[in-house]
Chains A and B, each alone.
Chain A
Amino acid sequence: MSIPRVLIVVLVLSTAGCTAEPLTADQETVAEVGEEVRTLHVPFDEYKLSRLDLQTIEYAEDLLTRDCMRELGMDWEMLPPPSSQDSDPLNRRRYGLIEPEIATRFGYHLSPPSPELMARESVWAHRDRLPLAERRAAYGDDGQGGCRAQARHHLRKDIPDLDQSRLYDFSAEAFDASMEDPEAVDVFGRWGACMKAEGFRYSDPLAPPGDPAWVESRRPSAPEIAVAEADVRCKQETGLVSAWSSVEERIQRDVLRSHREDFDGFRRAKDAELDAVHRTLEEFG
């Protein structure tokens, strides 16, 4: 039995309420993903697993786990099926905060979890409290085996033997290079001048979210929201996101051309995993 969603909300809110001002009604409402975020893509995205991909993999693992558990005479509570739309795209804050609504309502803090995410979390929480026999069946004696491991191995068995983490090396290098590119440096300078005119000084567009004045705070403050709003406004006025994204796209395409074999491998690995997932969905879903 899963933990009722309302209980989770009560626990979260009551815990927060012990030490700070209660959340405003506006801050309890989920913010929709901004339009600009929805259109934000970089070439390496094709080779990485998105959040929706990961949800789909988890769902297939759950189907296999449930089948395994049933053979042992036990049940398995499933995570919800994959969402139809990503409620928190991975590029959402790639170039810092870019959503005006988020800036005004939450500053650099995050929107509350979506109902879909809450439902998923309630299932994860439930799994922490399985009776011992079910835990052992699902996770093995050491937490690394059981039906869960069987399901993982089934889905991964056809993945080529290559180091997929290299993809993130390439990504990080390209991201660094993009920030040093003259075009990006130029637009960062114009963004910085805009921020200065608004009364704020930051070294680059990724610096404000980590400002010590609020990075550890529990909820957004008025000064934080003022900076966040100016930050987003200055990004819009200078065309920063479009310019930076174009620079990063160019750099990533150069990397793709010069490391074609590596990226072909990353694609094969991603395709193999997702193919196995879809076969599982067809068989068990």
Chain B
Amino acid sequence: MQHRLGVRVGAVVLGFAGLLGVGSAVASAETAETGIQASPFSGTFYVYEHDDFKGGSGSFRGSDRTLTNDSWENGPAGRIMNDNISSMRNQTDRDIFLWEHAGFGGDHYLAKKHSEDKDLTHNSNNPPNFDNRASSIQFR
């Protein structure tokens, strides 16, 4: 299953009001009613299946409390993002947390605004560190 941007943003905000960032919800509601996507100026958070921004990719414009239902764009069919992210580019104006577990639990990794990390395993002799570890994404 491939996700278009609007679909993903909508999918994560349609439910229980307390789950996610409200900003995403506003964007989703407007998208649904007007077909207008959020401004590109607010930026996008990109994640990748492999190091160096390779393999499948995913794009986020808001929080997602579980990646278990998110498949890679441009990646192998049936492969999901959960516990499978190896590099990231945060091109948004917001700091973003990658959480080890669904629902923003366990340990976390801070992806600062306008930053990138080409190898979430880097500088370690003992993988996985935060490579192949993230299960939820939180725009703070």
Interface residues of A (CB under 8 A from B): 3, 8-9, 11-16, 18-20, 23, 27-28, 48-49, 51, 54, 58, 90, 93-94, 96-97, 106, 108-113, 117-118, 121-122, 124-125, 127-130, 135, 138-139, 143-144, 148-149, 152, 163, 165-166, 168-169, 171-173, 175-176, 206, 209-210, 212, 215-220
Interface centre among B16, B40, B110 (most CB of A within 10 A): B16
Is A138's CB under 8 angstroms from B41's CB? yes
Residue of A nearest to B128 (CB): A172
A20 to B37, alpha carbons, bound, how many Å? 25
Closest beta carbon of chain B to A80's beta carbon, Å? 14
| A144 CB contacts on chain B under 8 angstroms | 43, 91, 114
Work out how many contacts link A and B, with CB atoms closer than 8 A: 185
Partner of A16, one of B14, B95, B97: B14
Q: Which of chain A's residues has its CB closest to B44's CB?
A: A143
B66 and A165: CB pair below 8 A?
Answer: no
Closest-CB distance, A180 to chain B (whole angstroms):
12
Is the beta-carbon distance between A168 and B26 smaller than 8 angstroms?
no
Give Cα distance in the complex from A209 to B13, angstroms.
18
Interface size class of B (residues with CB under 8 A): 35 or more
**CA–CA, A138 and B41, complex, Å:** 9
A55 to chain B, nearest CB (A): 9
Which of A109, A130, A152 is in CB contact (< 8 Å) with B18?
Answer: A109
For A124, give its contact among B94, B97, B101 (CB under 8 Å): B94
Do B128 and A143 touch across chains, with their CB atoms under 8 A apart? no
Does chain A have a CB within 8 A of B137? Answer: no
A215 to B102, CA, bound (A): 7
Chain B residue, CB-CB nearest to A97: B105
Chain B positions within 8 Å of A152 at CB level: 113-114
Q: Are B124 and A168 in contact (CB under 8 A)?
A: no
Q: Give every chain A residue within 8 A of B17 (Cβ-Cβ).
A: 9, 12-13, 16, 23, 27-28, 112
Residue on B nearest A96 in the bound complex, by CB? B105
List residues of chain A with CB within 8 A of the CB of B106.
Answer: 93-94, 96, 175, 206
A206 / chain B contacts, CB cutoff of 8 Å: 100-101, 105-106
Residue in A16, A48, A122 whose beta carbon sits within 8 Å of that of B15 in the complex = A16
Residues of A within 8 A of B27 (CB): 125, 128
Of residues 101 through 116 on chain B, the ones whose CB sits less than 8 Å from some CB of chain A are 101-110, 113-114
Residues on A with beta carbons closer than 8 Å to the beta carbon of B95: 54, 58
Judged by a CB distance under 8 angstroms, whether B122 is at the interface is yes
Q: Are A135 and B22 in contact (CB under 8 A)?
A: no
Q: Is the CB of A209 within 8 A of B107?
A: no
Q: Give the residue among A12, A23, A216 with the most B Cβ atoms within 10 A.
A: A12
**B39 lies within 8 A of A121 (CB):** no
Which residues from chain B contact A109 at a C-beta distance below 8 Å? 16, 18-19, 103
Q: Does B28 contact A (CB under 8 A)?
A: yes
B69 at the interface (CB under 8 A from A): yes
Q: Is B65 an interface residue (CB 8 A)?
A: yes
Which of A51, A117, A130, A166 is within 8 Å of B22, CB to CB?
Answer: A117
B135 at the interface (CB under 8 A from A): yes
Q: Do residues A15 and B28 form an inter-chain contact, with CB atoms below 8 A?
A: yes
In whole angstroms, how far apart are the Cα atoms of A12 and B62 in the complex?
A: 14
Establish whether residues B68 and A112, one from each chain, have CB atoms under 8 Å apart when the complex forms.
Answer: no
Are B123 and A112 touching (Cβ within 8 A)? no
Q: Which residues of B contact A175 (CB under 8 A)?
A: 100, 106-107
For A143, give its contact among B91, B101, B104 (CB under 8 Å). Answer: B91
The 9 closest A-B pairs by CB, nearest first: A218-B15, A93-B105, A112-B18, A121-B22, A121-B23, A11-B29, A210-B102, A175-B107, A219-B16
A125 and B130 contact, CB distance less than 8 A: no
